[in-house]
Each structure stands twice: as C-alpha cells, then as structure tokens.
Structure 1
C-alpha cells in the first residue's frame, strides 16, 4: 500500500513540474531582434529568388539567421497580436514577415505599395519565404 502512495505522489509531482515548465515557456516574452545585427541584408526579390533557384542551398545560408529584408509591401493582414506583411518576391510569391504588435500599440502598419525594411529570423520556405519575430526598421 505504501509503495502505491509513493508512486502516486511521485507521478503527481512529475506532472506538476511539467505543467509549471510548460506554463513558464508559454508565458515567456519573445525576444526582440531590434538591437540584433543582421547576418544578411537582402532585397525581398533576391531572397525569394534564392529559395526558388536552390531551396537547399538557400536554407543552409538563411534559415535561423537574422535577415534584414527590403521590399515593396504587397499585402498587410492585422490580427490581435501580429501584423503579417507580405513583401513582393515575384508573381508566384514573396517574403511573409510576421511582426509582433507592441503592447502600447505604437507599431505602425505599413501601407500597400510602400517600401519597407524588415528585420527578423528566417524560418524557411513554404510558398513564401517566412520571417518571424520581425521588426519594421525606421
């Protein structure tokens, strides 16, 4: 009987530790790349073309790197916590930049057709080149 209660107590403790760790990771603030130096500075068209020509080589070069991308805004979608900015690559796709909104609402939404410079972490290619944790450079 004592072995069962020790085992049960251990399992409850293990579940509590896992739940606390998951809650901490979920609530952990995202890092800002505003003060991080970009590994590459490239135009949206050139970045998209690199992934179109040789995805494996471009992935080795750009994925998980901080990239500063300059391009023309094709589309902007605003949600509760993010602004998704699509920069023109070519007629088939572009560079999708996910910009986190500031808590104070100071983040400006770029207009369609405007030229912007966005810095973020490249995570790969899936119809569009995807940039996350992005900030719009002034």
Structure 2
C-alpha cells in the first residue's frame, strides 16, 4: 500500500514539474500599454542623467518601466524589433526604443514627430535603451 502512495506522489511531482515548465517556456513579456510607469521623463533628460553619472542613473532607472517623450530622430523598421531613436539630433547620446511586437502603426512614424513611449530601461550603451516598448501617443 505504501509503495502505491509513493508512486502517486512521484507521478504528481513529475506532472506538476511538466506543467510549470510548459507555462514558463510559453510565458510572454507583459504588455506595457496598461502598466504604470515607474518614472516619466523627457528623452533629453534621461540621456543627460546617464551621461552625467551612469551609476546613479542605473540605480534610478535600470530594470524599471520608464515613460519617455521626445522627437523622433530615426526609425529603423527594417529590423525586428523595430528600433526608434528619440531625443536631440545635436546630442551625442539619445534614447533608443525597441518596440514590442508589430501591433503598432509603424508606417505612420516619421522623423521630427513627437512621441511618448513606455518601455523597460535596460541600460546605457551609446544611447539609453528601452526594450519591449509601446508607443502611448504621437503628436505631429
């Protein structure tokens, strides 16, 4: 009788592990359209914060949901995910935004247009990078 219960327990553990693994494997990143931002900042101010003191800016923004607005400098729709650079053309460092999915109207985005985007800050390379981003609003 005890052997039968151990067998049931082992089967239950294996099935539970398989279900957990399947769910984790198929998990998608959260949709940031309906998330609340941890910080709301202008593109120029965000780039300046990382340029001035990267360690302090990392502590404040890294891994957090940032809502940023600025003027589009470049739209690269040929790669996946679509990558947009916003900020000031005269500045050395700007904000790079990698859009999540293709649900958004990319063909409407043009240089010089002002947008507000929300994404997860993943750090500072040549530009401050926001990944898994969504465009909240656009303005001509």
Indicate the TM-score class for this superposition, using the shorter chain for normalisation: 0.7 to 0.9
Q: Match for residue 3 of structure 1?
A: none
> Which deviates more from structure 2 when the two are superposed, residues 51-60 or residues 72-81?
72-81
2:55 is paired with a residue whose SS is: helix
CA shift, 1:62, in A, is 0.3
Q: Match for residue 33 of structure 1?
A: 32
Cα distance change on mapping 1:30 and 1:81 into 2, 3 Å: farther
The 4+ residue runs of structure 1 with deviation greater than 4 A are 23-27
RMSD: 2.3
* 1:48-78 deviation digits (Å, cap 9, x = unpaired): 0000000000000000110000000000111
TM-score by length of 1: 0.75
TM-score by length of 2: 0.74
Q: Which runs of 5+ in 2 are unaligned?
A: 1-16
- Give the whole-Å Cα distance in 1 for the aligned partners of 2:98 and 2:23: 23
- Give the whole-Å Cα distance in 1 for the aligned partners of 2:120 and 2:131: 5
Q: Which runs of 5+ in 1 are unaligned?
A: 1-16
